[in-house]
Amino acid sequence: MEFCTQIATQSILNEMNKNADKVRENVNLWVEKETRGLIKEILPKTVELAPPLSLANALYFRGSWEDPFMAWKTKHKKFHILNREIIDVPFLNSYDVYRSYASLDDFKVLKLPYERGIGYDGKPLQFSMYLLLPHDTYGLKDMVKKFNSDPELLAPKSLNNHLRKVELSRVSIPKMKFSYGVDAKELLEDQGLTLPFSVKDADFSNMVNVYPVPNVYVDSMVHKSCIEVNEEGTEAAAATFARMVFGFDPDCEPTPVSTFVADHPFMFMIVEEFTNLVVSTGAVLDPQN
């Protein structure tokens, strides 16, 4: 098992305007290195760079299943996507196995543990993947709405209260390899986190100690993630870049069933069990994209 996070900060008051392309290249190379090549370009040329500060972070995870899927059992099966088309994708399969499982009102939960590891501080780490499969073949949107209205339902502690080790005659999940990017600033603002993006209220004085200086706020933020799930385990990476710029405020000073078959869209989370830290989460709409 390998899990690491890295954070890079670069003060660019003087060199940014002269050497933005070099800074962009350095950030992209750093992210590629820290994510083991899974994310190659966090900063396209369309993202402008400006003083006084840029922040980048990267996460990399690689874990082997505690109970691997046998490659010879991998078979192509039907997967229903949300536009009601049906596609053929390879599925990982296990039969007559004991797994942590629960069937709730609107969805099923399956927990698949990875092999235990040791952190940099010498403490044990135990990661697991949680798969949340709506009962309704096309019920993912309704399930997500329910989680948004009551986030506690999605908390690992809450899910574990329902999980029981039961015998499942069949476990079948699609092999996955996909990546996505998102405007993280827009996403966070939609969720109510607005303070870092406010010219008036943002406070990064402990990070940018230049005087005299106008207020500094986060002007843009981009995020990329990717994940691959196969017979041996999971490899995942994520990276985020935030551009911080000067700003002036003009107004003031600064019951168990026998199978778990994920043949339609579902959610997943990778969780560190000792801390209940969610290190990766997403929704599988099409395992091939």
- pLDDT digits 0-9 by tens, 161-196: 999 999 999 999 999 886 666 566 666 666 676 676
> For residues 153 and 203, which has the higher predicted lDDT (pLDDT)?
153
Tally of domains within the chain: 2
Q: 90 and 30 in contact (C-beta within 8 Å)?
A: no
Count other C-beta atoms under 10 Å from residue 219's C-beta.
16
Cα distances from 42 to residues 50, 182, 242, in angstroms, run 16, 11, 11
| Residues 205 and 219 placed together within one structural domain of the fold | yes
Same domain, yes or no: 24 and 146:
no
Q: Do 142 and 243 fall into the same domain?
A: yes
- Using a pLDDT cut of 70, give the percent of the chain over it: 68
Same domain, 129 and 250: yes
CATH code of 215's domain: 3.30.497.10
Domain co-membership, 18 together with 127: no
In tens, the pLDDT along 38-70 reads: 888 777 777 777 666 677 777 788 889 999 999
Q: For residue 18, what pLDDT band results from cuts at 50, 70 and 90?
A: low
**37 vs 91, residue with greater confidence:** 91
Q: What is the 3-state secondary structure (H, E, C) of 21-70?
A: HHHHHHHHHHHHHHCCCCCCCCCCCCCCCCCEEEEEEEEEEEEEECCCCC
The DSSP element (H or E) to which 172 belongs, if any, is strand 164-174
C-beta separation of 258 from 94 below 8 A: no
Helices (H), the chain: 16-34, 140-149, 156-162, 184-190
Q: Residue type for 204, please?
A: F
Return d(Cα 242, Cα 256) in angstroms, integer.
44
In the sheet that holds 233-247, the strands lie side by side as 2-11, 52-64, 233-247, 215-229, 176-183
CA distance 245 to 218: 6
- What's the angle, vertex CA 122, arms to CA 121 and CA 125, rounded to 5? 95
Average pLDDT estimate for 88-117: 93
Residues near 171 by beta carbon (within 8 Å), at least 6 away in sequence? 93, 94, 95, 97, 99, 110, 259, 260, 261
Both 87 and 129 in a single domain?
yes
Task: Based on the fold, state whether residues 96 and 135 are members of the same structural domain.
Answer: yes
In a domain, 107, yes or no: yes
CB atoms within 10 A of CB 114: 23
Same domain (yes/no): 152, 257: yes
Are 40 and 151 contained in the same domain? Answer: no
Q: Which of 115-119, 200-204, 205-209, 224-228 has the highest mean pLDDT?
A: 115-119
Task: Give dist(CA 202, CA 195) in Å, integer.
Answer: 5
Residue 254: which domain range?
65-174+235-284
- The H-or-E segment that residue 233 falls in is strand 233-247
* End position of a domain, from candidates 208, 226, 244: 226
Are 257 and 168 contained in the same domain?
yes
- Residue 153 per-residue DSSP state: G
Q: Does residue 246 sit within a domain?
A: yes
**Which tokens sit at 96?**
């007559």
149 shares a domain with 280: yes
Q: Is 157 exposed, middle or buried (0-12, 13-18, 19+ CB in 10 A)?
A: exposed
Does residue 258 belong to any structural domain of this protein? yes
**Any idea what the CATH number is for the domain that residue 110 is in?**
2.30.39.10
Residue 11 binned pLDDT confidence (cut-offs 50, 70, 90): very low
Question: How many helices and strands, by DSSP H and E, does the chain display?
Answer: 4, 15
For residue range 219-250, what is the model confidence (pLDDT) as tens digits? Answer: 666 667 777 888 888 877 666 656 555 554 55
CA distance 164 to 266: 20
Q: Is residue 289 part of a domain?
A: no
Whether residue 12 has pLDDT greater than 50: no
Confidence at 207, pLDDT banded by 50, 70, 90: low
Same domain, 52 and 195: yes
- Phi/psi-derived region of residue 9, left when phi > 0, alpha when psi is between -120 and 50, beta in every other case: beta
Please provide the average confidence, as pLDDT, over all residues in the chain.
Answer: 79
